Amino acid sequence: MTIIPMRDLKDTVAVEKHCQEAGGPVFVTKNGYGRLVVMDIEYYEKTLGKLYEAQLVNDGLKDIEQNNITDGATVKARLSAKYGL
Tell me the pLDDT tens digit for each residue of 9-46.
999 999 998 888 888 899 999 999 999 999 999 999 99
Tell me the pLDDT tens digit for each residue of 33-83.
999 999 999 999 999 999 999 999 999 999 999 999 999 999 999 999 999
In whole angstroms, what is the distance from residue 25 CA to residue 5 CA?
Answer: 14
* Most distant pair of Cα atoms in the chain: their distance: 67
pTM over 0.85? The answer is no
| Adjacent-strand bridge partners of 26 | 2, 38
33-38 and 26-30 strand pairing: antiparallel
Closest by CA position to 22, among listed 47, 41, 40, 34 = 40
Residue 33 CB coordination number (10 Å): 6
